[in-house]
Amino acid sequence: MITVEKLTPAWREAFLVSRNSLFTPLDSSYWDQIEHPNSSISVRTFIGRDESRVLSWGSFYLRGLHVGRDRAPALRVAMACAIGTLPDHQRRGLGAKVWRAAEMSLGREADGILVYTGEGGSGYPFYRAMGYLPLHYPLCMRQKVSVESRIERSAVMTRPLAGFDDFSHSGAGAFAECYRGSGGFLTDRPGSLERWAKASFFYHANTIGCVPQISWLQDNLGGQWTAYAIWAGPIKKIDWKRDAVEIWELACRHNCDTGSLDRLLQPAREAADTGGGYIDWWAVPGPLTSQMLALDFVEMPRSLCVLGKVFDPAGKLAEQLEARDFPANCRNAAGGRVEIRAGDCLVEIEHDAAMRMVFGRSSASHEYQLGMLTICPLAKAPATLEAFDAVLPHVPWSYLASEYI
């Protein structure tokens, strides 16, 4: 008999045995840390088991997601991590049962779920079948390290990120200037990143085989940070990342030139020279990507995808509209679509389109062009679309590996 339930202490060891057979091993002490009532970011785990073994599982970290719209409240999302089913129990629907149980429980605590996965792996079609929409395809860029690329490390400071207590104060300005107007990352930055670093096993050296670092540049006058990079490598204990050096987060002020970025990355290049000989970075919107291209970073084939679902699109759209002083009445209607009464107009948005709009990944005008949003009376369409686009704009997303791994 198969039982699907929330993980309890009685089944933790059995869960870890099964989980560790498929993923990078974790020990009980790590689970003690993240399940502690004072944990920086809460985790929820759901399992499918028989009388002796845990056969399927999924863990979800509860976090806030910044959607990039002024005054709009952060989304409360459960970020899926380490979803799996033992090989001899796959293709029997057990993973879907665990996932549905997780959704029912998490719906009382979160607005939706996020998951990132390899686009070519078995997880991608599973999540799509469960109703999750692709929200972002991060573009990976790679720089091959050569002797010619080495430069002096003048003015570059580097420290282990764990326990570094100056990041929240000094790095906040560089991050805000670099990512203003973007979404898709943890809310309440930069403090939320420090909390995440305490919860994510990727920040534990005994798990990945290296110590994540932060390098930064500062001006010569007030000591203000002009740029920083959070990076790790060479990674030794994760097979599919072995010997890689990865930039998990990169930010700079608008007046930071390409030569300064080149100096900033020198410590990571030196680490790459002892590993696989390359550095990976996920491109972000704006001029930063152009600067990285000038430093001989090249585009890699697309591989990752961030997918998401919102449990109550009408409720979240109503919340976002209200936060930006837009009077409207939203409700869930037949077929899963959202109906919005705004003045003397009726706006009807199909379910998936409404979810994209909640995440800031689409606008009313775009969904209208696709035929996924209708407005009655038709004569009001131009003015209504203009108003909705102003209050619920499309938002570029930034994939920051520092928050997803």
* pLDDT, tens only, 5-15: 999 999 999 99
Across 192-200, average pLDDT? 86
pLDDT for 149 equals: 52
- Using one digit for the tens of pLDDT, what is the confidence trace for 355-380? 999 999 999 999 999 999 999 999 99
> Looking at 79-83, 207-211, 321-325, which range is the least confident one?
207-211
- Using one digit for the tens of pLDDT, what is the confidence trace for 59-84? 999 999 999 888 888 999 999 988 89
Contact 169, 242 (CB under 8 A): no
Q: Quick check: 182 pLDDT over 70?
A: yes
CATH number of 3-131: 3.40.630.30
| Strand bridging mode 43-49 / 75-85 | unpaired
What whole-number distance in Å separates Cα of residue 215 and Cα of residue 168? Answer: 14
pLDDT for 163 equals: 76
Question: What 3-state DSSP class applies to 174?
Answer: helix
pLDDT for 147 equals: 59
What whole-number distance in Å separates Cα of residue 301 and Cα of residue 324? Answer: 39
% of the chain residues with pLDDT over 70: 98
State the span(s) of the chain assigned CATH 3.40.630.30: 3-131, 140-303
CATH number of 140-303: 3.40.630.30
Q: What's this model's pTM, rounded to 2 decimal places?
A: 0.92
Q: Measured in whole angstroms, how far is the alpha carbon of residue 221 from the centre of its chain?
A: 35
